[in-house]
């Protein structure tokens, strides 16, 4: 049975540009009046809990549960912050959603703000998303113009203002507490937890941080019901998911599918398979911090639990496909260079560890590896996990560990032959 | 609940709610290694040495003991083989670009990193690299900033912003390019630094140290708690002494008036103590020449002359100027002396040091 697209249905419409009139013509802004008139905030939190919606930013935390953590009787204002700092390498779905269908996000943001009792919301937009931020600004003006934002929204007595805040280009500001620091005008570095943002977040007030795709699901859940939503895909990973497929595939791009889809179907049926008759070598299923999978994992479904059981993670939904011309040591060098560059520098293991991972992988790739380097890498990865303020250190260690697990021989050849066997041949 | 019952490495502890795991462990005599922790500063949890295993019900996690608070019924393990391995690893990374002469103890100065590295048997063996050499910032009149020894524990930055309220030192750069610096990488001299030396007092490695130390950095024979001789605030300080000589002055964080804070003079201004120019006895000028005298002789002379002036020209021919180096009580007495004994209201005070 063909899957009926929800978040990206607009993509099949000719000449669709995502203006408020187009969005309304396609059934947009129907969920908002329904939410305001038919439901109390607590009902909405319950509906989202029942829908099974899990965060689409990376950790897959149940959205309704997160909303439920905010205190009911806090004297402080509550804030909703939309995390639009999409920076995980291989992930480009939020960018598409804000550029092409901004009102779906805004409608979701308004309903979510109503649900948690927020009167001032922020969209923290990745600094590089220049046109995305412009589209959001335009869309917000449109929404204010129609009375969907501002005071007494649709006569309900509910007020909401939304600001777009542009980041300055740091991956770590996608980590929710790093994001809040940055939004407060400080250096973007993660905070110690607890307290978690739901208790003490933006300006030390209760705060919910939700990803763009997560919020974009909300209008559909309100309009069509939690049971309908929960019926899409596997029970514990409900709803549609956007997979950003890149690398060695015929048709790279964003694919909206239920999470029951297997890697094989995603890569070969939807993304058109591997070009030039080459073989699949490796695939990163959830953004660059996810451990790598291989051909033997092709029949793993793309839901959170199955990917975890296969030794990887759903992460941000960024699927990076690599054919047999790719050198995994080179991939390790590139990935570790990224985390080295993006470490905020607070924790010892991360600040120094990411630098050393990069240094050791670089010397192996460039023929200067030592035979003790592989054990050194594994020991470093082991000690970098679960010991730091945020998970950037884990995100740097997990992929390298997995490359060594699945492709150890390739690393050994580099060290033994004192050269990269793919040199001058590979795509990387 | 006002109190929490916790088990730390098998020892039971009953501590008030809100106590950190590190404090609770200290209360039962268990020491957890730290570098970024300082009792005078709020925790920041960046050195990650104090990571411990905690279990409360089904919840099992590794947390930073300096920051995480105890919960009732919590079981804490502070030194499992895994934790000790992680500590050794973190120390190895810290040691990798720490100057060899400091690790070998050739500098003679205290270094908490060196002490921990020795305790854990950590060397530069696995992580060898050319030691990055930063130029020293010696622009301040009182401190030298030597980033080569900096371990980025951020004690100095917290002391500067949270204790002294100056916000001069902070972190510039990111990741392994992070370094302690004033904004815009300015030399310390070109900032609003007040030379209080709080950064130095909190630095664990000597990365920020006394620019003009009184003596070479040798271990003191004794540490004597004393009161600052400069003004009447009564700041406590510790004199590190060897025989009759002061080696250096360090902060006493228990001092009720100052909790370790000192001003530039109180921390650094002790070169006068052994100065050959220093007057240690009264002197009287006779026939244009200074001659040493006894206290009785000197005070008799002053009393006689004050009486003569008052009798001949009236009490308002006299005035009293007192010193900020004296205490409030001493200043009270001097005005009392002026009014009751000399009979004048001509009283003033220098109100500066």
Mean pLDDT of A422-427: 64
- Contact status of B44 with chain A (Cβ, < 8 Å): yes
Picking from B94, B263, B231, the residue whose alpha carbon sits closest to that of residue B176 is: B94
DSSP letter for each residue of B99-130: -HHHHTTTT-S--HHHHHHHHTT--SSSS--P
What's the full length of chain B, in residues?
Answer: 353
Residue B27 to chain A, least CA–CA distance (Å): 23
Question: What pLDDT is attached to residue A399?
Answer: 98
A170 with A48, same domain: the answer is yes
CATH number at residue A224: 3.40.50.11540
| Distance separating alpha carbons of residues A98 and A427, to the nearest angstrom | 31
Inter-chain residue contact B176 with A355, CB threshold 8 Å? yes
Give the one of A344, A348, A383 whose C-beta lies nearest to B174's C-beta. Answer: A344
| Distance separating alpha carbons of residues A116 and B132, to the nearest angstrom | 51
A102-116 and A212-224 helices cross at what angle (nearest 10)?
80
SS3 A120: strand
A280 with A204, same domain: the answer is no
Query: Rg of the Cα trace of chain A?
Result: 22
pLDDT > 70? residue A160? yes
Q: Which of A230, A258, A285 is the last residue of a domain?
A: A230
Q: Answer yes or no: are the C-beta atoms of A209 and A109 closer than 8 Å.
A: no
Question: What pLDDT is attached to residue A424?
Answer: 65
Residue A425 lies in a domain: no
- Contact status of B152 with chain A (Cβ, < 8 Å): yes
Q: Answer yes or no: are the C-beta atoms of A65 and A254 closer than 8 Å.
A: no
Residue A424 lies in a domain: no
Inter-chain residue contact B44 with A354, CB threshold 8 Å? no
Q: Answer yes or no: are the C-beta atoms of A298 and A264 closer than 8 Å.
A: yes
> What's the helix, strand, coil split of chain A in %, to 5?
45, 15, 40
Partner residues linked to B348 by β-bridges: B321
Picking from A159, A197, A163, the residue whose alpha carbon sits closest to that of residue A178 is: A197
| Distance separating alpha carbons of residues A288 and A57, to the nearest angstrom | 13
A305 with A334, same domain: the answer is no
Inter-chain residue contact A386 with B62, CB threshold 8 Å? yes
Residue A144 lies in a domain: yes
Inter-chain residue contact B89 with A379, CB threshold 8 Å? yes
A379 with A411, same domain: the answer is yes
Question: What pLDDT is attached to residue A423?
Answer: 74
Instruction: Sort A273 into a burial class: Cβ within 10 Å, 0-12 / 13-18 / 19+.
Output: middle
A171 with A255, same domain: the answer is no
Q: Answer yes or no: are the C-beta atoms of A220 and A207 closer than 8 Å.
A: no
Token digits of residue A109: 């943001």
Token digits of residue B181: 């610096």
Mean pLDDT of A11-18: 94
| Distance separating alpha carbons of residues A136 and A149, to the nearest angstrom | 13
Q: Answer yes or no: are the C-beta atoms of A335 and A399 closer than 8 Å.
A: yes
Q: Which residues of B251-289 are buried (b: 16+ CB within 10 A; e: fewer)?
A: bbbebeebebbbbbebbbbbeeeeeeeeeeebeeeeeee
Q: Which of A165, A198, A230 is the last residue of a domain?
A: A230
Residue A189 to chain B, least CA–CA distance (Å): 10
Q: What pairing do the DSSP bridges indicate for beta strands B179-182 and B169-172?
A: antiparallel
What are the backbone angles phi and psi of residue B306, rounded to the nearest 5°? Answer: -60, -40
Give the one of B51, B96, B177 whose C-beta lies nearest to A387's C-beta. Answer: B51
For residue range A67-79, what is the model confidence (pLDDT) as tens digits? 999 998 899 999 9
pLDDT > 60? residue A1? no
A294 with A354, same domain: the answer is no
Residue A200 lies in a domain: yes
ipTM over 0.95: no
Residue listed under structure tokens 């600094």: A127
Q: What is the average pLDDT score of chain A?
A: 96
> What's the helix, strand, coil split of chain B in %, to 5?
30, 20, 50
Task: Identify the closest residue of chain B to A350 by CA–CA distance.
Answer: B175
Give the one of A170, A351, A388 whose C-beta lies nearest to B152's C-beta. Answer: A351
Sheet holding A240-247, edge to edge: A253-258, A240-247, A318-323, A280-284
Number of domains, chain A? 3
Residue A428 lies in a domain: no
A368 with A285, same domain: the answer is no
Instruction: Sort B294 into a burial class: Cβ within 10 Å, 0-12 / 13-18 / 19+.
Output: exposed
For residue range A202-236, what is the model confidence (pLDDT) as tens digits? 999 999 999 999 999 999 999 999 999 999 999 99
| Distance separating alpha carbons of residues A167 and A179, to the nearest angstrom | 9
Inter-chain residue contact A345 with B173, CB threshold 8 Å? yes
A345 vs B contacts (CB less than 8 Å) = 152, 171, 173-178
Question: What pLDDT is attached to residue B328?
Answer: 86
CATH number at residue A341: 1.20.1440.230
For residue A328, CA distances in Å to A281, A415, A424, B112 come to: 9, 13, 14, 40
Residue A348 to chain B, least CA–CA distance (Å): 5
For residue A244, CA distances in Å to A133, A213, A265, A320 come to: 20, 12, 14, 8
Query: Residue A245 contacts by C-beta under 8 Å, 6 or more apart in sequence?
Result: A251, A252, A253, A254, A255, A266, A267, A270, A271, A319, A321
- Cβ neighbours of B212 (radius 10 Å): 10
- Contact status of B46 with chain A (Cβ, < 8 Å): yes
Instruction: Kindly state the DSSP code that residue A9 receives in the 8-state scheme.
Output: G
- Contact status of B241 with chain A (Cβ, < 8 Å): no
Residue A427 lies in a domain: no
Angle of CA points A38, A43, A48, to nearest 5°: 110
Which H or E run includes A200?
Answer: none
A225 with A248, same domain: the answer is no
pLDDT > 60? residue B303? yes
Picking from B102, B76, B71, the residue whose alpha carbon sits closest to that of residue B5 is: B71
For residue range B176-199, what is the model confidence (pLDDT) as tens digits? 999 999 999 999 999 999 999 999
Give the one of B45, B62, B175 whose C-beta lies nearest to A351's C-beta. Answer: B175
A333 with A318, same domain: the answer is no
How many Cα atoms sit within 13 Å of B184 on the Cβ side? 6
Query: Residue A312 contacts by C-beta under 8 Å, 6 or more apart in sequence?
Result: A284, A285, A286, A290, A291, A292, A293, A297, A402
Inter-chain residue contact B62 with A387, CB threshold 8 Å? yes
Instruction: Kindly state the DSSP code that residue B1 receives in the 8-state scheme.
Output: -
Angle of CA points B66, B67, B72, to nearest 5°: 100
Question: What pLDDT is attached to residue B287?
Answer: 93
Q: Answer yes or no: are the C-beta atoms of A302 and A263 closer than 8 Å.
A: yes
pLDDT > 80? residue A297? yes
Q: What pairing do the DSSP bridges indicate for beta strands B59-64 and B51-56?
A: antiparallel
Give the residue from A345, A353, A391 with the most B CB atoms within 10 Å of its CB, the best one to mutate.
A345
DSSP letter for each residue of B116-169: HHHHTT--SSSS--PPP-PPPB--SSSEEE-GGG-----HHHHIIIIIS----E
A203 with A145, same domain: the answer is yes
What's the full length of chain A, in residues?
Answer: 428
Residue listed under structure tokens 């999470």: A259
Mean pLDDT of A186-195: 94
Instruction: Kindly state the DSSP code that residue B239 receives in the 8-state scheme.
Output: E
Mean pLDDT of A277-300: 97
Mean pLDDT of B92-106: 91
A413 with A301, same domain: the answer is no
Token digits of residue B36: 């970024």
Interface size between A and B, measured as CB pairs under 8 A: 77
Residue A4 lies in a domain: no
A379 vs B contacts (CB less than 8 Å) = 89
Inter-chain residue contact A349 with B48, CB threshold 8 Å? yes
Token digits of residue A216: 């974009």
pLDDT greater at residue B219 or residue B199: B199
Residue A271 lies in a domain: yes
Token digits of residue B111: 């270094």
Give the residue from A168, A193, A387, A389 with the most B CB atoms within 10 Å of its CB, the best one to mutate.
A387
Picking from B26, B84, B12, the residue whose alpha carbon sits closest to that of residue B53 is: B84
pLDDT > 60? residue B170? yes
For residue range A26-56, what is the model confidence (pLDDT) as tens digits? 999 999 999 999 999 999 999 999 999 999 9
Inter-chain residue contact B175 with A341, CB threshold 8 Å? yes
A306 with A334, same domain: the answer is no
Q: Which of A323, A348, A378 is the last residue of a domain?
A: A323
Mean pLDDT of A58-86: 95
Query: Rg of the Cα trace of chain B?
Result: 27
Give the residue from B84, B174, B180 with the most A CB atoms within 10 Å of its CB, the best one to mutate.
B174
pLDDT > 90? residue A248? yes
Instruction: Write out the residue range of the structural domain in which residue A102 sits.
Output: 9-230
Angle of CA points B4, B8, B10, to nearest 5°: 115
Inter-chain residue contact A348 with B171, CB threshold 8 Å? no
């Amino acid at each position: 049975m063909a899957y009926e697209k929800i978040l990206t249905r607009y993509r099949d419409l000719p000449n669709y540009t995502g203006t408020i009139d187009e969005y309304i013509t396609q059934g947009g802004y129907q969920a908002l009046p329904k939410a305001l008139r038919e439901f109390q905030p607590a009902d909405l939190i319950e509906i989202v809990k029942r829908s099974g919606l899990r965060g689409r930013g990376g950790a897959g935390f149940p959205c309704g549960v997160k909303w439920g953590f905010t205190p009911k009787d806090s004297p402080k204002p509550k804030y909703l912050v939309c995390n639009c700092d999409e920076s995980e390498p291989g992930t480009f779905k939020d960018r598409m959603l804000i550029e092409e269908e901004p009102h779906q996000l805004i409608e979701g943001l308004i309903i979510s703000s109503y649900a948690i009792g927020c009167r001032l919301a922020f969209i923290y937009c990745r600094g590089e998303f220049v046109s995305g931020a412009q589209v959001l600004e335009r869309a917000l003006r449109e929404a204010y113009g129609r009375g969907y934002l501002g005071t007494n929204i649709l006569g309900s007595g509910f007020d909401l203002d939304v600001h777009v805040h542009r980041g300055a280009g740091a991956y770590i500001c996608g980590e929710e507490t790093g994001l809040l620091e940055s939004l407060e005008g400080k250096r973007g570095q993660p905070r110690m937890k607890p307290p978690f943002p739901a208790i003490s977040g933006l300006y030390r007030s209760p705060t919910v941080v939700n990803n763009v795709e997560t919020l974009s699901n909300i209008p559909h859940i309100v309009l069509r019901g939690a049971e309908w939503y929960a019926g899409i895909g596997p029970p514990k990973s409900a709803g549609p998911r956007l997979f950003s497929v890149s690398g060695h595939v015929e048709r790279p791009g964003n694919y909206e599918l239920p999470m029951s889809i297997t890697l094989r179907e995603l890569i070969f049926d939807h993304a058109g398979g591997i070009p030039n008759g080459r073989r699949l070598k490796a695939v990163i299923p959830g953004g660059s911090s996810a451990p790598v999978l291989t051909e033997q994992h092709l029949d793993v479904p793309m839901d959170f639990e199955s990917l975890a059981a296969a030794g990887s993670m759903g992460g941000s939904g960024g699927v990076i496909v690599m054919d047999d011309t790719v050198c995994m040591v080179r991939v390790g060098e590139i990935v570790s260079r990224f985390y080295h560059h993006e470490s905020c520098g607070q924790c010892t293991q991360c600040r120094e560890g990411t630098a050393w991972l990069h240094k050791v992988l670089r010397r192996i790739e460039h023929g200067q590896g030592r035979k003790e380097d592989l054990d050194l890498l594994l020991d470093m990865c082991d000690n970098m996990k679960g010991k730091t303020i945020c998970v950037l250190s884990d995100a740097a260690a997990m992929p390298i560990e997995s490359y060594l697990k699945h492709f150890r021989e390739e690393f050994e050849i580099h060290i033994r032959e004192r050269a990269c066997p793919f040199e001058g041949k590979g795509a990387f | 609940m006002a109190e929490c019952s916790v088990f730390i490495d098998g020892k039971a502890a009953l501590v008030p709610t809100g106590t950190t795991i590190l404090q609770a462990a200290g209360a039962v005599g268990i020491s957890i290694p730290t570098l970024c922790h300082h009792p005078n500063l709020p925790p920041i949890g960046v050195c990650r040495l104090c990571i411990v295993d905690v279990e409360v019900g089904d919840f099992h996690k590794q947390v930073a003991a300096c920051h995480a608070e105890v919960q009732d019924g919590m079981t804490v393990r502070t030194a499992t083989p895994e934790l000790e391995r992680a500590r050794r690893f973190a120390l190895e990374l810290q040691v990798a670009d720490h100057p060899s002469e400091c690790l070998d103890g050739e500098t003679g100065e205290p270094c908490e990193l060196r002490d921990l590295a020795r305790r854990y048997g950590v060397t530069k063996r696995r992580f060898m690299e050319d030691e990055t050499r930063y130029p020293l910032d010696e622009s301040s009149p009182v401190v030298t900033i030597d980033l080569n020894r900096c371990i980025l524990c951020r004690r100095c930055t917290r002391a500067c912003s949270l204790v002294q309220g100056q916000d001069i030192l902070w972190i510039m750069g990111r990741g392994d390019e992070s370094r302690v610096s004033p904004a815009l990488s300015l030399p310390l001299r070109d900032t609003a630094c007040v030379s209080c030396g709080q950064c130095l007092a909190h630095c664990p490695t000597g990365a920020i140290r006394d620019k003009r130390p009184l003596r070479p950095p040798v271990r003191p024979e004794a540490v004597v708690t004393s009161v600052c001789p400069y003004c009447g605030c009564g700041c406590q300080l510790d004199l590190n002494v060897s025989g009759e000589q002061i080696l250096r002055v360090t902060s006493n964080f228990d001092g009720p008036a100052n909790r370790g804070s000192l001003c530039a003079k109180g921390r650094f201004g002790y070169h006068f103590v052994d100065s050959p120019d220093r007057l240690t006895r009264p002197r009287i000028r006779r026939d244009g020449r200074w001659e040493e005298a006894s206290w009785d002789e000197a005070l008799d002379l002053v009393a006689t002359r004050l009486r003569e002036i008052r009798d001949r020209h009236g009490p308002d021919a006299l005035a009293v100027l007192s010193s900020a180096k004296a205490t409030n009580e001493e200043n009270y007495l001097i005005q009392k002396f002026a009014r009751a004994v000399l009979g004048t209201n001509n009283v003033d005070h220098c109100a500066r040091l």
